[in-house]
């Protein structure tokens, strides 16, 4: 495989608390856990792709602290190229505080830390050094100016861009419509439709994806949770169903999906085949605890 995946994104330490149910505002409840693992949407997706066989370079920033080793440890073990990760002295490594309830649902508070220091110039330099067949993957946890600069640099260089605007970040129209594919969940897709001033033919993920394609986005993938994913491009509309599984923790499942999708695109799969594989990887991830610790390698049997 000569093409590489260039992931420009966030790297955090995930701090987990496990509770019977999520507390109401002002309520204190007892929980368990306290374990820490690497996280951040960029690092998560980079790891998921690497575990699925893709050669990956990660671009980001961590602090000059002990948390940096936690944030990057799994990536290093998986063979991800970390030469473009900056270690900054004036900000701590990013932190995500994750509360997981007994039914597998989670709440997450992200403290950006060093991630907020990733500059447009750092992203542009990484894109300039990439190969002609490389794919650039971005998310929504870096500063808006950095994400937009990276996408525009990738388009100018002729690189394929996979853009997962999660969490939602109101990026410029030309940036959103440059993605191939634009990967969103239903909530984020609704925000993108509103941001672009579009009208969807219905409320579901498929209708939202179709509206975004009519706005000029080459392809759109909307994740539908337990229902799978909707795929829309110039060739038409499809829904890729997910195998029913028992979820124990949904943390990072969307990142497992997106990283696996990008890995299959790097390998040469057409979009629908890549989505089919990504749905299976996401279904595997929700059956295991944590974000990065839940991601399968090539040796694991997928649903």
Give mean pLDDT, residues 161-178: 95
Please check whether residue 261 lies inside any domain of the structure: yes
Would the annotation count 117 as a binding residue? Answer: no
Give mean pLDDT, residues 291-301: 93
Residue spans of alpha helices (H) in the chain: 41-51, 67-77, 120-128, 144-156, 173-176, 186-195, 205-214, 253-266, 271-285
Would the annotation count 14 as a binding residue? Answer: yes
Q: What is the pTM of this model?
A: 0.93
pLDDT of 55 above 70: yes
pLDDT at position 1 is 59
Please check whether residue 128 lies inside any domain of the structure: yes
pLDDT at position 203 is 72
User: Taking all residues of the chain, what is their mean pLDDT, rounded to a whole number?
Assistant: 95
Please check whether residue 135 lies inside any domain of the structure: yes
Lowest mean pLDDT among 4-8, 154-158, 219-223, 297-301: 297-301
Say how many domains are in the chain: 1
Whether 67 sits among the annotated catalytic residues: the reply is: no
Question: What confidence tens digit (pLDDT) does each residue in 90-121 have?
Answer: 999 999 999 989 988 889 899 999 999 999 99
Check residue 90 and report its DSSP letter. S
Give me the percent of the chain exceeding a pLDDT of 90: 87
Would the annotation count 228 as a binding residue? Answer: yes
CATH of the domain at 211: 3.40.1190.20
Please check whether residue 28 lies inside any domain of the structure: no
Please check whether residue 103 lies inside any domain of the structure: no
pLDDT of 14 above 70: yes
Would the annotation count 249 as a binding residue? Answer: yes
Please check whether residue 106 lies inside any domain of the structure: no
Give mean pLDDT, residues 176-201: 94
Q: Which member of 69, 81, 255, 269 is catalytic?
A: 255
Q: Which of 114, 117, 174, 122 is nearest to 150 (CA)?
A: 122
Please check whether residue 286 lies inside any domain of the structure: yes
pLDDT of 270 above 70: yes
Would the annotation count 12 as a binding residue? Answer: yes
Contact, 61 vs 87, CB < 8 A?
yes
Would the annotation count 141 as a binding residue? Answer: yes
Would the annotation count 299 as a binding residue? Answer: no
First to last CA, the chain: 26
Please check whether residue 29 lies inside any domain of the structure: no
Domain that holds residue 183: 5-11+39-92+114-294
């Amino acid at each position: 495989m000569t093409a590489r995946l260039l992931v420009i994104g966030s790297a955090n330490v995930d701090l987990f608390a496990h509770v019977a149910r999520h507390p109401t505002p002002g309520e204190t409840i007892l929980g368990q856990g306290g374990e820490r693992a690497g996280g951040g949407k960029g690092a998560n997706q980079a790891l998921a792709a690497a575990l699925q066989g893709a050669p990956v370079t990660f671009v980001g920033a961590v602090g000059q602290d002990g948390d940096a080793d936690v944030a990057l440890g799994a990536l290093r073990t998986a063979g991800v190229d970390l030469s473009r990760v900056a270690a900054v002295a004036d900000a701590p490594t990013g932190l995500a505080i994750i509360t997981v309830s007994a039914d597998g649902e989670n709440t997450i508070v992200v403290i950006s830390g060093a991630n907020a220091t990733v500059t447009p110039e750092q992203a542009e330099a990484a894109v300039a050094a990439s190969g002609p067949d490389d794919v650039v993957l971005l998310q929504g946890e870096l500063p808006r100016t950095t994400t937009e600069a990276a996408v525009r640099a990738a388009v100018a260089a002729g690189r394929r861009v996979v853009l997962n605007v999660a969490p939602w970040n109101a990026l410029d129209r030309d940036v959103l419509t440059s993605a191939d594919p634009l990967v969103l969940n239903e909530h984020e897709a609704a925000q993108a439709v509103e941001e672009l001033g579009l009208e969807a033919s219905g409320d579901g993920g498929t209708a939202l994806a179709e509206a975004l394609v009519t706005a000029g986005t080459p392809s759109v993938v909307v994740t539908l949770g337990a229902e799978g994913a909707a795929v829309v491009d110039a060739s038409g509309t499809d829904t890729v169903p997910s195998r029913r599984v028992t979820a124990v923790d949904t943390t990072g499942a969307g990142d497992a999906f997106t990283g696996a999708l990008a890995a299959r695109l790097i390998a040469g799969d057409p979009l629908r085949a890549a989505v089919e594989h990504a749905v299976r990887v996401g279904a595997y991830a929700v059956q295991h605890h944590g974000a990065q610790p839940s991601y399968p390698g090539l040796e694991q049997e997928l649903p």
